[in-house]
Amino acid sequence: MKFSLSTLFTAALCISLNVYADLDQTTQWTLNLYLENDLFSNTDEGYTNGLRAAWVSPDVSDYLEDETLPSWIRSVNRRLTFFHQNREGLKRNLIFSLGQTLYTPHDLNRVDVVEDDRPYAAWLFASMGYQTRGERQMDTLEFSLGMVGPAALGQPSQDFIHKIRGFETFKGWDNQLNNELGAIFLWEHKSKFIRRHYVNSRFGYDAISHGGIALGNVATYVNAGAELRLGWSIPNDFGTSALRPGGDNSSPGSIWDPRSADSQRWGLHGFISMDARLVAHDIFLDGNNFSTSHSVHKKRGVAEGALGISFIYGGLKLSYAHIFRSKEFSQQESAHSYGSLAFSYTY
């Protein structure tokens, strides 16, 4: 694990240093922190916890021709314009992130393999991605590399939190998935197909669609969905996403965004979103790819909806969403829900 993750961190650092001189210094970095947990729904099972920290760079001034960037990155960026009508006005950002997700069955006292419930599993990962965006559209390419299994530190992470809060610890972590190096390559396209602000008022609404594909031994799927936002001083970005891969947003890019350097106005809006996913592979349900492990019969189609609120003041943005997810495997007794808290700071 240490070799794999350190290799990714080193590569990300080298690329970030190479492009630093080409960053548009009139904009700022954005730090996104995500916490997802099903305790918001008074449960402790299934997808039970997620943590991620992500940094979105300022705009990169030359993301196509700068020879300090690897040739493959320049080549990919030239091809990331096929959805955009005005290719001359595109902006680009780099994304670096670290995260961990945890999955447990329902019964915390069972020490044997719970055959009719999902496996114990954890995923510890680092990601690097980049975005190409116009006024109404944004493309994200992201590569995640990490470990599934004991090396992902799921049991000590969960035990630490449970002991602090005085909760019982789960007894069956010895049955978790085996160690396996995991990777996900993801592309997602977002389109802001409705945007309306009323004259002489900060009140408005917008609607953003998304669609994408993920390939890898951790997860392989296609997904699509949309988000509707309504409120005051809605930021000029592409929605409030959960911790899912490809969910990071762009840095503020307009004086109408309350987070921009030229504006200290507040903003408040509510949002409703949905996502539908066709799943070909999910290691957290299908089990290990290269060794024998516990698994369940997953459902190919998974849908989720979210209802949330977001508050912005200056460079700060705080959002909460409650997410409802359909059954993910045949033996699952009921649908699952959890809370997603996101903190964003532009500096």
Task: Copy the structure tokens of residue 202.
Answer: 């900060």
Determine phi and psi for 277, rounding to 5 degrees: -130, 135
Task: Copy the structure tokens of residue 247.
Answer: 């969910």
Contact present, 23 and 60 (Cβ < 8 Å):
yes
Contact present, 307 and 272 (Cβ < 8 Å):
yes
Q: What is the pLDDT of residue 196?
A: 87
Task: Report the predicted TM-score, pTM, of the whole model to 2 decimal places.
Answer: 0.86
Tens of pLDDT along the chain (347 residues) come to 444 444 544 554 454 445 444 444 445 788 889 999 998 888 889 999 999 999 888 777 666 666 666 677 777 777 777 666 666 778 888 889 999 999 999 999 999 999 999 999 999 999 988 888 888 888 998 999 999 999 999 999 999 999 998 899 999 999 999 999 999 999 999 999 998 877 677 899 999 999 999 999 999 999 999 999 999 988 888 888 777 776 676 555 544 455 554 555 788 999 999 999 999 999 999 999 999 999 999 999 999 999 999 998 877 889 999 999 999 999 999 999 999 999 988 87
Q: Cα separation of 152 and 317, whole Å? A: 30
Angle at 41 between CA 298 and CA 106, to 5 degrees: 45
Amino acid found at 261: A
Report the C-alpha dihedral over residues 194, 223, 152, 73, rounded to 10 degrees.
Answer: -70
Q: Cα separation of 259 and 4, whole Å? A: 36
Q: What is the pLDDT of residue 216?
A: 97
Q: What is the pLDDT of residue 93?
A: 83
Determine phi and psi for 232, rounding to 5 degrees: -105, 135
Q: Which domains does the chain have, with CATH numbers?
A: 2-346 (2.40.128.140)
CB atoms within 10 A of CB 301: 11
Contact present, 172 and 110 (Cβ < 8 Å):
yes
| Centroid of chain to Cα 179 | 23
Contact present, 160 and 108 (Cβ < 8 Å):
no
Share of the chain above pLDDT 90, in %: 56
pLDDT digit string, tens, across residues 279-327: 999 999 999 999 999 999 999 999 999 999 999 887 788 999 999 999 9
Contacts of 61 (CB under 8 A, 6+ apart): 22, 23, 24
Q: Cα separation of 170 and 192, whole Å? A: 43
Q: What is the pLDDT of residue 16?
A: 47
Q: What is the pLDDT of residue 46?
A: 93
Q: What is the pLDDT of residue 75?
A: 79
Cα dist. 225→69, 190, 271, 303, 319 in Å? 33, 9, 13, 9, 19
Q: Cα separation of 219 and 282, whole Å? A: 5
